[in-house]
Amino acid sequence: MRDVAIIGVGMTKFGELWEQGIRDMFAEAAIKAMDDAGVKKIDSFYVGAMSSGLYTYQEHLSSLMADYMGQIGVPGLHVESACASGGSAVRSAFIEVASGISDIVLAGGVEKMWDVEDGTIVLATAADQEYEAYNGVTFPGLYAMIARVYMEKYGLTREELAQVPIKNHKHSVNNPNAQYPFELSLNDVLKSSMVADPLRLMDCSPITDGAAAVILCPLDRAKEFTDKPVRIRAIGAATGPIALHDHKDLTRLDVVKLAGDRAYKMAGLSPSDISFVEVHDCFSIAEIIVAEELGFFEYGTAGKAIAEGQGTYGGKIVINPSGGLKAKGHPVGATGVAQVIEAYYQLSGKAGARQVPNAKFGMTQNMGGSGGSCIVHILEAL
């Protein structure tokens, strides 16, 4: 198996992109990535998108995107794994390059979420339709149940939970592509609208339009394209129960630990080697549990540790230097790719004011549903 490097990246600004359709956003990100890598032609590509057929009534994305990014004839594939679709696209591209099938492969993700009348119905397709969605349970409701059980079990306070979005919004101020690059106060979080007790509006990631893309090639060719390639050191993937009621412990996300352990094993690394991590903070409680499952904090302690500053610059591990899903935005099909782009920026020293000092290894964790699927990447500065 060949080593694989990232040689170029591109993304749109995340937000309400009323002037762009799904094809325009993907083409913008893809062409930016190709220009960044200095390539005119790719061998293959993958498009991560959770539900373009419901959001925009557009499927057959491989044909559409090949046409609009000027790559007619190139093989392409639409990849779907709910909110982990983007990470799955990067994983698929990694496998194709590592196997030797292709040399120059684009992995992209896109979602156009603002154009649909009822996005709740679309997002609910990532949950169990018969047991959850049919009975009116939404993802805020599912994660609210997780949060309530966690708070009761470990004594996490509502004020401590609020420190997750406060931290992530503070990080986002230095991200020019973030949807909501502004700081939050404790009062902003605690006085925001109740969504599903105990989760308030400021605990929930937003609805977002956006696209992101990366170019991968064999590591031994990377210096042909860039002076600062970033190696994808390892990948880990797993599936878990789609329905929350099938989880053994509502304070755990076993799928994250399984994917993380596989990535650590492939990389020959441990949590102490990681300088920063981009995690899937779809809701505040998700960041806390994921940080524990990836081994950065003991079970039941991450919420308090983050509240004490251990998840930011100068702490134990920088979590979501981009601002995370909460502040950067969450265009579900693009999120996993955007996480990898943030890792690329950090490890190539291009993150500007949000640069993590002396970053050698970075991690990304992209998750579908309430723990139904998970993709973890470990990346390395060269």
In a shared domain, residues 187 and 216: no
In a shared domain, residues 76 and 146: no
In a shared domain, residues 31 and 156: no
Pairing state between β 373-381 and 318-319: unpaired
Count how many residues are written for the chain: 382
Q: Which amino acid is at 5?
A: A
Report the pLDDT value the prediction gives residue 118, as an integer from 0 to 100.
87
Q: What dihedral do alpha carbons 245, 247, 253, 254 form, nearest 10°? A: -160
Taking residue 136's Cβ as centre, other Cβ atoms within 10 Å add up to 8
171 is catalytic: no
Residues 166 and 145: their CA atoms lie apart, in Å, by 22
Cβ(318)–Cβ(135) below 8 Å: no
Domain boundary among 169, 189, 224: 224
217 is catalytic: no
Domain boundary among 169, 192, 224: 224
Report the pLDDT value the prediction gives residue 160, as an integer from 0 to 100.
98
Cα dihedral 152, 157, 158, 160 sign:
negative
The string of pLDDT tens digits covering residues 252-298 is 999 999 999 999 999 999 999 999 999 999 999 999 999 999 999 99
In a shared domain, residues 259 and 141: yes
In a shared domain, residues 107 and 239: no
Report the pLDDT value the prediction gives residue 117, as an integer from 0 to 100.
81
Domain count, the chain: 2
Helix/strand/coil percentages in the chain, nearest 5: 40, 20, 40
Domain boundary among 196, 224, 252: 224
Cα dihedral 195, 197, 199, 202 sign:
positive
- 189 φ, ψ (degrees, to nearest 5): -75, -50
In a shared domain, residues 84 and 170: no
Domain that holds residue 337: 123-204+232-381
Report the pLDDT value the prediction gives residue 254, as an integer from 0 to 100.
98
Q: Where are the beta strands (DSSP E) in the chain?
A: 4-11, 44-48, 76-79, 105-111, 194-196, 199-200, 210-218, 230-239, 276-278, 318-319, 361-368, 373-381
In a shared domain, residues 97 and 187: no
CATH number, position 297 = 3.40.47.10
The string of pLDDT tens digits covering residues 32-43 is 999 999 999 999
Residues 333 and 159: their CA atoms lie apart, in Å, by 31
In a shared domain, residues 270 and 186: yes
β-pair partners for 278: 364
Which regions in the chain score pLDDT beneath 70? Answer: none
| Percent of the residues in the chain that have a pLDDT greater than 90, as a whole number | 99
In a shared domain, residues 179 and 325: yes
Among 83, 204, 217, 282, the active-site one is 83
Cβ(94)–Cβ(73) below 8 Å: no
In a shared domain, residues 240 and 109: no
| Angle of helix 158-172 versus helix 284-293 axis, rounded to 10 | 90
* 246 closest CA partner among 368, 147, 134, 371: 371
In a shared domain, residues 244 and 324: yes
DSSP state string for 211-251: EEEEEEEEGGGGGGT-SS-EEEEEEEEEE--SSGGG-S-TT
Among 217, 330, 374, 377, the active-site one is 330
Q: Which positions ≥6 away from 5 have C-beta within 8 Å? A: 216, 217, 218, 219, 222, 229, 230, 231, 232, 382
In a shared domain, residues 298 and 312: yes
